[in-house]
Chains A and B, each alone.
Chain A
Amino acid sequence: MIDVLWRYGFIQRAFLAGLAIGLSSALLGLFLLLRREAMIGHGLGHIIFGGLALALSLNLAPIPVALIIATLASLGMLRLKARAGFHSDTAIAIISSVGLAAGILLVSLVNRYGVDLLSFLFGDILAVDQTEMVLSLLLALLVAGFLFFNYHQLLFLTFSPETARASGLKTGRLETLLTVLTALTIVLGMKIVGLLLMTSLLVIPAAAGLQMARSFQASCFMAVLISILSVLAGLWLAVAADWPASATIVLISFVFFLISFILRRRRLF
Chain B
Amino acid sequence: MIKEEELVVVRNLFFSYDYQPVLTDINLTIRSGDFLALLGPNGAGKTTLIKIILGLLPLKRGEVYLFGQPIKLFKDWHLLGYVPQTATHFDPMFPATVREVIAMALFSKKKFWERIKKEEKEALSQILERVGLAGKEKIPIGHLSTGQKQKVFIARALLQKPRVLILDEPTTGIDAESQQQFYDMLYEFNKNDGITIVLITHDIGIVNRHVTKVACLEGRLIYHGSHDDFCRSQVFKDMIGRGNHVISHQH
A: residues with CB less than 8 A from B are 34, 149-150, 152-153, 155-156, 159-160, 162-169, 210, 213-219
Contact = CB atoms under 8 A, between A and B. Distances in A.
A166 B77 contact: yes
Task: Determine the interface band of chain B, counting residues with CB < 8 A from chain A.
Answer: 35 or more
A119 B116 CA distance: 47
Contact of B87 (A150, A156, A163, A218): A163
Contact of B108 (A149, A159, A168, A218): A168
B54 interface: yes
- Chain B CB count within 10 A is highest, among A155, A164, A213, for A155
B94 A156 contact: no
**B100, B108, B138 pick with most chain A CB within 10 angstroms:** B108
Nearest to A156: B104
Contacts of A169: 107-108
Contacts of B157: 163
B95 A156 contact: no
B5 to A, nearest CB: 23
A215 B91 contact: no
B100 A216 contact: yes
B87 to A, nearest CB: 7
Interface string B70-96: 000001111010111011001101111
Nearest to B84: A162
B56 A155 contact: no
A47 B165 CA distance: 44
A168 B107 CA distance: 10
A218 B94 CA distance: 12
A132 B54 CA distance: 45
Contacts of A152: 103-104, 106-107
B194 interface: no
B113 interface: yes
A136 to B, nearest CB: 24
B96 A167 contact: no
Contacts of A165: 55-56
